[in-house]
Amino acid sequence: MNVASSLQQSLLLVEQSSRIMATNVSVHLAVPPAEEASAQAAIETCMDWLREVERRLTRFDPTSELSQLNDAAGEWRPASALLFSAVQEAIRAAASSAGLFDPALLPQLQALGYDRDFAQLARHADATTQTGSAVPVSTGSWRGIQMDARGRRIRLPEGTRLDLGGIAKGWAADMTLKRSLRAFPNVIVNVGGDLRLRGERSPGEPWAVGIRDPRYDHLPGPAPNIAVFTFHRGGLATSGATSRWWYHGGQRQHHLLDPRTGRPARLWVPAGDDSAEASDAERLIATATALAPTAARAEVAAKVALLRGYPDALRAVEDAWEQRGKPGASLQADEQVALLLVLGNGEVFMSKNMEEYLDTCGRGGMVWV
């Protein structure tokens, strides 16, 4: 995913990028030239706060606030405003998706070998071990998490351990836009490809975001775009397994677990994966791109789409779009969401509400490449 823009004299593009939260982070502000200094200062504030998010929410540092919360499962634990807000957002997403998004699958992830930073995981099969270890299946414990807003404390059920990686990027993008960038009407916050934006690149020119072809992600050089979205507000996120996988016990594991089984979801990855030999592998979703009012909602919607698969993911958001505002409407996870799915064979499918979504929610459009 890339932020496309062109130089305009009316607004100056002020931007900065860094490696934070184990991913590429960037902030882009389009401002009058006279506001360049204040824009740069605001971006510095954003980056400092995102580093604070990384320190508090990483599960790979035993001294982080999240790790200390996990270690205190079964007891009430005081929480910073940052941690409390992030956990609250994760529980809200789990409830709105009927548990298809589950932030409490850390024990399963660790049992599958995801027990260290992703860059350190084995990306080659171990020829001496051909079978994976048994993984305990215990999902849904997020329902027992207690949140005390007045005392700002959290109690995890015994045995529950949280991994906020499935929502932290989108939540951080949303919070960054709210916290430090209120004064700027034209902004994109990009946290590892999870975007939150508002405004324009220049008068009459909305922000443009390219969606990469996942079939080229494993090859050297930039991947070509399949489509380019132009819009003025909202969030966008893409999820898939084209690069987020590792070997454990001689088998390739995907980063996305299915709460219904406690096992890695069956996703398409480039040729060479054990699932690629299946007769229907090319009909699996390679990447799911979701557009939603916030980046956190988009991040969760993209992951839920992968779990539902094609074509069920499209039907779910289309039905929710048709039922929005009516009594008994669909769960929040599907409300005001539009999807673009890329299958392993290169086919591209959009939810039927995409054009209307861009027109009414995003105030933009789309161009096929």
Q: What is the DSSP letter of 273?
A: B
Beta-carbon contacts of 330 under 8 Å, excluding residues fewer than 6 positions away, are 316, 319, 320, 323, 324
Beta-carbon contacts of 218 under 8 Å, excluding residues fewer than 6 positions away, are 242, 243, 270
DSSP helix/strand/coil, 197: strand
Helix then strand count (H, E) for the chain reads 8, 20
Asked whether 256 and 267 are in contact (CB, 8 A), the reply is: yes
Beta-carbon contacts of 334 under 8 Å, excluding residues fewer than 6 positions away, are 301, 316, 317, 319, 320
DSSP helix/strand/coil, 33: helix
Residues forming beta bridges with residue 31, ordered by sequence position:
12
Of 363, 272, 256, which Cα lies nearest the Cα of 304? 256
Range list for CATH 3.10.520.10 in the chain: 2-48+185-245+252-368
Which pLDDT score is estimated for 257?
A: 87
Which pLDDT score is estimated for 299?
A: 96
The Cβ of residue 275 has, within 10 Å, a number of other Cβ atoms equal to: 18
**Within the chain, what is the greatest distance between any pair of CA atoms?**
63
Which pLDDT score is estimated for 251?
A: 60
Backbone φ and ψ for 60, nearest 5 degrees, come out as -95, -5
Cα end-to-end span (Å), the chain: 14
Of 166, 187, 36, 150, which Cα lies nearest the Cα of 99? 166
Buried b (16+ CB within 10 A) or exposed e, 237-253: bbbbbbebbbbbbebbb
Going by their DSSP bridges, the two strands 233-240 and 12-20 should be labelled as: unpaired
Model confidence, pTM: 0.88
Structure tokens at 95: 């409830």
Q: What is the DSSP letter of 249?
A: T
**What are the pLDDT tens digits along the chain (369 aa)?**
555 444 445 899 999 999 999 899 999 999 999 999 999 999 999 999 999 999 999 999 999 999 999 999 999 999 999 999 999 999 999 999 999 999 999 988 887 765 555 554 444 445 344 444 445 556 789 999 999 999 999 999 999 999 999 899 999 999 999 999 999 999 999 999 999 999 999 998 999 999 999 888 777 778 789 999 999 999 999 998 666 555 555 566 667 888 998 888 887 876 654 444 444 667 889 999 999 999 999 999 999 999 999 999 999 999 999 988 777 655 577 889 999 999 988 899 999 999 999 998 878 776 665
Backbone φ and ψ for 237, nearest 5 degrees, come out as -150, 145
Range list for CATH 1.10.3980.10 in the chain: 65-167
Asked whether 194 and 237 are in contact (CB, 8 A), the reply is: yes
Which pLDDT score is estimated for 248?
A: 56
Asked whether 241 and 292 are in contact (CB, 8 A), the reply is: no
Which pLDDT score is estimated for 276?
A: 44
CATH superfamily of domain region 65-167: ApbE-like superfamily (1.10.3980.10)
CATH superfamily of domain region 2-48+185-245+252-368: ApbE-like domains (3.10.520.10)
Asked whether 163 and 109 are in contact (CB, 8 A), the reply is: yes
* Measured CA distances, 283 to 211, 261, 277 (Å): 19, 21, 12
